Amino acid sequence: MSSEDRPSVEWARLEYLEDGTPFAPRYGDVYCSRSGRGQAAEVFVEGNRVAERCVAARSFAILETGLGLGLNLSATVDALATVGRSEPLRLRYAAIELHPVHPEDLARIQRDAPFAPSFLEAYPALVRDGRATLKIEENLQVDLELVLGDGAAALARLQGPFDALYLDGFAPARNQGMWNLQVYRELARLSAPGATLATYSAASAVREGLTEVGFRVRRLAGFARKRHRIVGQRQA
């Protein structure tokens, strides 16, 4: 899709709670817990064993349902940059997003991230054109893709396969367009055999829907005040 064909951007409206936590009034939900970076690293990066799986890989592909603040991307790049590898790694990182965060808000939230300058510089082009490249270091390149849209319709515009899925829309009760059987079917279509998934949610409807489309799902202890979270794997 050319930049001329992309839908117009409707930026996210952010508010900030008293403790500084970013809040989305459209959905009545926070973007992340107070420990947003820790949540990204533990729930999504470690939940998919990304660093471990990329030690010997030459390529790897991640799909995120909701780019949001870019915290999961930042945590992923940070983890991969510290992994000792003998071969260069090319990471494909694709995401969908209905309401991208404005660059000014992103700069406020990402300013202390290790690779923030590279991401913030590439972000306007990513939103405008749908693609951008981050050259993190000599042996790590990140090819970014962003589809503007929601749920299954946005996922239908992507081609797989993906090795790991970050399911990170707002809570299912507040954002049903990102948590439904049509979305899960698209995720299954886009997944490589054996692909993994991780999400902060542990809702029974989410577990049941993912199981129905061919993922083996299990609950783990949650992060921070959350009792449980989900990880899963696509069956061959």
Q: What is the CATH number of the domain that holds 55?
A: 3.40.50.150
| H/E element, 122 | helix 116-129
Q: pLDDT band at 22, cuts 50/70/90?
A: confident
- Flag the least confident range among 2-16, 58-72, 83-97: 2-16
Domain span holding position 223: 3-234
Label the pairing between strands 29-30 and 22-24: antiparallel
Q: What is the pTM of this model?
A: 0.92
Model confidence at 27, pLDDT cuts 50, 70, 90, reads confident
69-112 pLDDT tens trace: 999 999 999 999 888 777 899 999 999 999 999 999 999 888 88
Interatomic CA distance for residues 150 and 32, integer angstroms: 19
Query: Could you tell me if 150 and 96 are in contact, meaning their C-beta atoms sit under 8 angstroms apart?
Result: yes
User: What pLDDT score does 34 carry?
Assistant: 58
Residues, the chain, total?
Answer: 236
Q: How many domains does the chain fold into?
A: 1
